[in-house]
Amino acid sequence: MKVAAIQMVSGLSCEANLQAASLLIHQAAEQGAELVVLPEYFCILGAVDTDKLAVKEDLGSGPIQSMLAQAAAKHGLWIVGGTLPLSVPDDNDKVYNSTLVYNPQGELVARYDKIHLFKFKKGTEQYDESKTLVAGDKPACFDLITHSGQSWRVGLSICYDLRFPELYRSLVDMGVNMVLVPSAFTHTTGAAHWEVLLRARAIENQVWLVAAAQGGEHENLRKTWGQSMIINPWGQVMSELGTGSGCTVFDIDKDELDRVRVELPALDHRKLG
């Protein structure tokens, strides 16, 4: 199955970001992708964190969700909508940072609310997602059937989740053989940790891993690392972007995953948890 990791440099205008995402989805579809993964905050990287509150949507309605559903149905593929801000009941000052998954009929089939909220302070560079986000509390996955009839169970994670291996192990316990990581890693943390963490999660869980990132200098002066990549269950980077907008497509192989798990049955050797 061909999968696509889309990389963006999202800006202040939600409408412009949706147009850019639509074009990149089209490009991935033209390359034969059956599964397309957008990056975290694909719909907006505002001038301030609270800008996302202005474009939040209730689950099931709104222009962001409509674009994702329509694009999935138009191209007949699976779309994982990076993240978008979803309303929190009884709290107008915060949102969930949520991944939504649409099947080739344009139907919503899965939702994951980011569990681990990023906080970082180094000199003048600082972030605290808890000021505007409410954390989720449940892992999530979905079942995907390819055009050829092959079945995949796909786990969902978001950016900072990457630093918490227990989440990925819980996804393996749910039976996943692929994990998606829509992200907006900062340039500082990405340069130090992005690839090594991605490869570690793929290796220790023996899964295919698809990481779609923000990558470049944004209108809000934030700088993200990029380097979207697709990694096999042996931890090898099979396809990768640098910085800037684009998509990387790779034909992943379920037989390769099965072979790795047979040759090195590490998951069967677990003693704790």
pLDDT in tens, 72-93: 999 999 999 999 999 999 999 9
pLDDT at 61: 97
Q: Report the pLDDT value the prediction gives residue 244, as an integer from 0 to 100.
A: 98
Give catalytic status of residue 217 as yes or no: no
- Positions in the chain short of pLDDT 50: none
Decide yes or no: CATH 3.60.110.10 for domain 2-269.
yes
Name the residue with tokens 């099979």.
Answer: 238
Cβ–Cβ contacts within 10 Å for residue 2, how many?
A: 18
State how beta strands 246-251 and 78-80 pair: unpaired
What is the distance between the alpha carbons of residues 67 and 73, in angstroms, rounded to a whole number?
A: 10
**Exposure of 8 by Cβ count < 10 A (0-12 exposed, 13-18 middle, 19+ buried)?**
buried
Question: In this predicted structure, what is the pLDDT of residue 273?
Answer: 74
3-class SS shares of the chain: helix, strand, coil, % to 5: 30, 30, 35
* pTM, to two decimals: 0.98
By the 8 A CB rule, do 95 and 86 touch? yes
User: Which of 2, 34, 40, 43 is the catalytic position?
Assistant: 40
**pLDDT, tens digit, for every residue of 196-208?**
999 999 999 999 9
Q: CB neighbours (10 Å) of residue 114? A: 24
CA 182: distance to chain centroid? 2
What pLDDT is attached to residue 142? 98
Q: What pLDDT is stored for residue 231 in this prediction?
A: 98
Q: DSSP letter string over 148-164?
A: TS-EEEEEE--GGGGG-
**Is 159 designated active site?**
yes
- One of 2, 52, 94, 114 is an active-site residue; which one? 114
What whole-number distance in Å separates Cα of residue 42 and Cα of residue 21?
A: 7
User: What SS3 class is residue 242?
Assistant: coil
The answer to whether 94 is a known catalytic residue is: no
